[in-house]
Every structure is written in C-alpha cells, then in structure tokens.
Amino acid sequence: MLRTNVCVVGAGPAGTVASLFLSKNKVPHILVDRAIFPREKVCGEFFDGRLQHVLNKIHPDFMQRMQEKNIIQVIRRYAFINSNLKQIVIDTPLNMTARISANRYDFDNYLLTEALKSEYVQYFDNTNISEGAVTEKGVSLSNSTKSFEIEAQAAILATGSNSPLSQKLVPQNRAKGHFLLAARGYYRNIAKPENQNRTQVYIFRQPFPYFLCLVHLPNNLATAEVCILKTVAAKHRASPESLLLNVIREHPEIKKIFANATLKGKIKGTSLSNTSGKHPISADRVLLAGSCGSNVNPLTGWGVGHAVFEAMCAVNQYTTSVKKNDFSAKAFQEYDKKIHRALGNERLFGRWADWAVMYGFTPLDFLIGFIASTPWLSRKASAFINGI
C-alpha cells in the first residue's frame, strides 16, 4: 500500500492544477488517472478569465509560456446567434481579462507535463480508482481488484461528472439535472468572421432544438460541437454526429464558413451531465474539484475556469486544515462556502442556461433576437456578461 499526504484522482485540468499548487506548497502527493496521456477528450475548449487568474498564481509567466508554445490563444469576441441569425456580440475590452481557447489534447497534456516536473508528485496512469472509504486515519483508495491501494491524509477528486467515486465519498454531491449529447469535430481553414479569432454559439429550433459552438483554436484549427438534450435526441431518433454534418452541409450561413474547411480526424461524441445547482462538494477528508464539483452548461464556457479555480481553493483548504489538524466535513465546509460564494453569479447564469436548454431554446432564441434588435440592450448584455 502507498501512503501519502494527498491523493489527487484525475489528471485533467482540475487534477493537474491541484498537483501544481500542492507542489508549490511542497506537499508530497500522488496523482492518478485512468487514462494514458496524451489523450483526446470531447470537452469545452473555450475558457473564461479565471483560468489566467489561477495559472498566473502558479507562476507569473505560466500563461505567457503557453501562448508562446501555441497551446492557447486569446479570444476577445464571441457571439450568441439565434435561428433568424440575429446576434448578440460580446467584445471583451483590453483592460479586462480575455477568454482563452485551446485544443484540449495539447492543453491537458501540457498541464500534466508541467505538474510532473515536481519532486513532490508520484504519478500513476492507466489506473482506475473506483473504490474509496474514509477512516479516522485518512482516505483509503483502490482499484476494483485491490491490487493498487493508497492511503492518504486527504483526497482531492477531479474525476469528472457523474463520477461513482465522488458520489460514494461525497453523498448527494450531484444536484438533479439533465443530460446533453455532444459531438465534436476539428476542422482546418474555417472562415473567420471579421478576420479574427472568435467563438460563435448558434441556437437552432428546427427540425428540433439544439445548438452549435464554433471555437477558433491555435494552429489554424477550429472545433465545431453540436449539443442536444438527450431526451430530445431520443424522441426524434437524432444523433449529434449527424446533426453536425447536416448543419455544415445544409445551413446557408454555416455552409459558407466551412466552404474551404477540411475535417481533421474523426467526429467524436460524448454525453454531458448538465446542472449548475448548489450541492455538497466536500465531506470528511474529501474535496471535489472540476466537473464532479460543479457542472456548467456548455453555453456558458465556464467549465475549465471553474475547475482550476476549485483546484486552487481545494489545495488552500487542505493547507489550512493541516495547520488546524482538522479534516472533518465541518472544517471542509469552508471550501463549499468559498466556492458557492465566488461562483455564485456564474452559477445563477448557468441555471438560466439550464432552463433554456430544458425548454427547447425557444425562450433563449426569442431573447437573443429581442436584445440584438435593441442597441441599448445589446450594450447592457455585453457589459453584464463581461462583468460576471
């Protein structure tokens, strides 16, 4: 059996950032992931400004190095476009932190590579931690066969949405929500509106409700992702993969954007648990970070920014608990309070997005058209979203 101060389960952005902060605090720890990196992941590739805030606390030039290596790029314009092609355009002023885009294959692998440079981390890949129990002495974690076992003072779980392990160790950590089905493809040479990097979210109501996200990435790549409510897909026997191909081939506006584009690799699909509710994200000796801690609608683009912020706060909570020698659920409640307080406005906006998804985008489609037709409201909407 391996023994350590902290075991971080999951080596996505939340897990690797937790590892980086633990190393910065000189805390010996173990990082475990079931995958072998580098690996592909169908997930959001448009990140909010919290990412820059958190990574620069690890090192002041962390983001600059990533930009120089073409891992990330700055996105200062994004738009919500309704079924009548009315759009709300959000421009981030130069004096505000910009949003970021990145290919998750490169982004996640870069973070892990940086984390593994530390002498304070032991890393195990291709290892699925599925069992866990909390004792008076710590947290016991293992794979299903008990051939790999870890005992830690505390655990930070960054195991993704609907993780059986997080639900086992933090009961009722998932607020009731709904599922989206998603399909994503990488394309080269899609047209850039106004010849600049941007993100576009298209809302469709016909033949049934779904949305399309287009995100410009580094290295002349773009990602196109379709999301549809699972219940809607089942009712109409629709697949997000077919929807993605059809909208690129048949929609007049989208067809122009993809006129000279070529698909890189294959279109891949996944399912996403979709809820922004307030629910427990800690328990005795266990802290949740990333999408098992707080799920956010893909319409908002706050997934990775929230994930790394939670990771930073989880490590801060651990170091505070070490000083007080208190790893109880009551002590860890401070972590819950901080996260819910800091992300409160985003969670509220996320719940509005959830509501729009659940009711077929009709309210959102109408609202975008109404705001887009009123310059004053467009300016107010842009200022509100930039200020969240």
Residue 89 lies in a domain: no
Residue 13 lies in a domain: yes
Residues 106, 185 within the same domain: no
Residues 257, 212 within the same domain: yes
Rounded Cα distance, 385 and 239, in Å = 31
- For the chain, state the CA radius of gyration: 21
Domain that holds residue 33: 2-73+101-176+276-349
Instruction: Output the pLDDT for position 137.
Output: 84
Q: Say if CB 53 and CB 349 are below 8 A apart.
A: no
Rounded Cα distance, 190 and 193, in Å = 10
Instruction: Output the pLDDT for position 278.
Output: 67
* CATH code of 372's domain: 3.30.9
Residues 27, 146 within the same domain: yes
Residues 190, 329 within the same domain: no
Q: For the beta carbon of residue 278, count every other beta carbon within 10 angstroms.
A: 14
Residues 198, 344 within the same domain: no
Residues 251, 328 within the same domain: no
What's the number of domains the chain is made of? 2
**CA 52, 54, 60, 62: dihedral to nearest 10 degrees?**
-70
Q: Say if CB 303 and CB 253 are below 8 A apart.
A: no
Residue 183 lies in a domain: yes
* CATH code of 320's domain: 3.50.50.60
Residue 88 lies in a domain: no
Q: What angle do CA 69, 197, 296 make, to 5 degrees?
A: 85
Nearest CA-CA partner of 289 in 336, 321, 328: 336
Residue 249 lies in a domain: yes
Residue 85 lies in a domain: no
Residue 91 lies in a domain: no
Residue 192 carries which DSSP code?
P
Backbone φ and ψ of 237, nearest 5°: 50, 45
Residues 342, 369 within the same domain: no
Each residue's pLDDT expressed in tens, for the chain with a length of 388 residues: 899 999 999 999 999 999 999 999 999 999 999 999 998 887 878 888 889 999 999 999 999 999 999 999 999 888 999 989 999 888 888 777 788 999 999 999 999 999 999 999 999 999 999 999 998 889 999 999 999 999 999 999 998 877 889 889 988 656 556 678 899 999 999 988 776 778 899 999 888 889 999 999 999 899 999 988 888 899 999 999 999 999 999 999 999 999 999 999 999 998 877 655 567 899 999 999 988 777 666 667 678 888 999 999 999 999 999 999 999 999 999 999 999 888 877 777 777 776 776 676 777 888 888 888 888 888 888 887 776 6
Residues 34, 159 within the same domain: yes
Instruction: Output the pLDDT for position 40.
Output: 84
With H, G, I as helix, E, B as strand and everything else as coil, classify residue 184.
strand
Backbone φ and ψ of 282, nearest 5°: -155, 165
Instruction: Output the pLDDT for position 274.
Output: 63
Residues 338, 371 within the same domain: no
Rounded Cα distance, 132 and 135, in Å = 10
Residues 138, 258 within the same domain: no
Residues 51, 142 within the same domain: yes
Residue 96 lies in a domain: no
Residues 212, 271 within the same domain: yes
Q: Helices 344-358 and 362-372: crossing angle, nearest 10°?
A: 110
Nearest CA-CA partner of 244 in 185, 296, 196, 298: 185
